[in-house]
Structure 1
Amino acid sequence: MYENWPLLRTPTLLLGDFLKTAFSNSNGGRKFRILEIGAGTGGTTKHIIKYLRSHGIPFEYVLIDISTSLVSAAKKKFKEMSEVLDIEKAPKWEYENAFHMIIATNCIHAIGSLNQSLVTLNKMIREDGAVVLVEITRNMFWLDIVVGLFEGWWLFEDNRTHALEMKAAGFREVLWTDGESLESKTVWVIAAFKSSPPPPPSLPPGETKNPTVKAAVKIVVYKTIGDTKIHADVYYPLNPVPTHKKPPIGNYVPDCPDFSRVC
């Protein structure tokens, strides 16, 4: 259901694009470490691995799940590292500050304490890393009837507030997809970053920044006809970030009108 249902297939494709964009714009040619939480039957895993490989992105992929049987099946299906792990408990020392990206598709809701699990994930990502979740954010009663037969569907014991809970868990920046369609309001791709993006460089006097593009704007007079001056807007890139600094992965993802920010 999760792999082929269009409502969930679409955000999985968006998740792949997010990872490709973030990793493609990085410098250094390093191998990125990705951790998938609650890999389950591998629907998301299969797409992400194939998609990143097709774009030549070097990565190491680790799958974890609380189910021993699902982890055993994943080991047979994928060559990537798989193991049983409960994210409501403190992470193993080798997993602390170890991953560039942690992803989870329709998994985080099936836990007792959302805050405790998010705190654990925050400890597992690097300072320049991010946690990206695909989650249903509206009540779907037919889904409760179908999946509600499994005990894990009802494990939550807290009064969670979805994306806002990530700020309480220590993430500095939280973004999520948005839109006017019912589907956009039903399933979100939520990205949380461990560190805040650096402030944009200041502009020289007399120059303004267009809020829709990452560029500086300077108004100049390019022609005069009689007493009439004809003006032109000249756009040019802002001052680049020094190459010796390593900004967070979130800075590599371009601005998108479908993302909102929690301040």
Structure 2
Amino acid sequence: MSLLELVGLSRHFGGVLAVNNCSLSVAPGEIHALIGPNGAGKTTLINLITGVLKPSSGQVRFQGEDITHLPAHLRVHRGLARTFQITNLFKNHTVRANLELAVQARSGSSFRFWQPVSREKHLTEEALAVALQIGLAGRFEVVVGKLSHGEQRALEVGLALASRPRLLLLDEPMAGMGLEESEKMIELIARLAQQHTILLVEHDMGAVFRLAQRISVLVYGQVIASGSPAEIRANPEVHKAYLGEEGGAA
């Protein structure tokens, strides 16, 4: 059974059809990449999956359950977590505080005003465990605004991990990175894939073809191809619509 299944999903914005009868499935344990040119509808599709937007038609199924009309916060509790194209962090607070807040949001810890947060040791323990996963344990007490761009992107992934997701949706995690930072993010995603199913939206084709077991190609709101990296490389429609006639971008 697919972990995530989209069936005939569409979304209109007035007369504009941003997502058009889109169907795809994500299997448990895989990295499934979603690629396409700017304006293809990738972020709209992610917003439909996470409940930020409601579809005009079609269905979103997660773990075999229809969640099409489920609010976004309840989808997080079901095990859907995402990152964003632009970092969404508390930059005046430490890595520790950001992660503790993310853990608290999932666990429902009280944060009672008459009891110091430091007493809720499990928050710090879980936050530190996530920091270890994302390679920021040594930066645990550093204010987020002093982190490098790559470290901030890693922390964004950490906030999603703190919700203990079944499916991790990464929306352009390498946006704005140089080669060294991109390589670190690729290594992080590869490590996370050992324990998490990942839906990856990314423009870095080198990273996509290194990481993904399956790739779906979105053009004008439609999935025009879905398959293994080798199948996508060899697909003439994909070359024409996105990768270029000679496939050099792959």
TM-score, scaled to structure 2:
0.32
> Which one has the largest radius of gyration?
1
Higher relative contact order (CA 8 A, sep 6+): 2
Task: Specify which structure has the higher proportion of strand.
Answer: 1
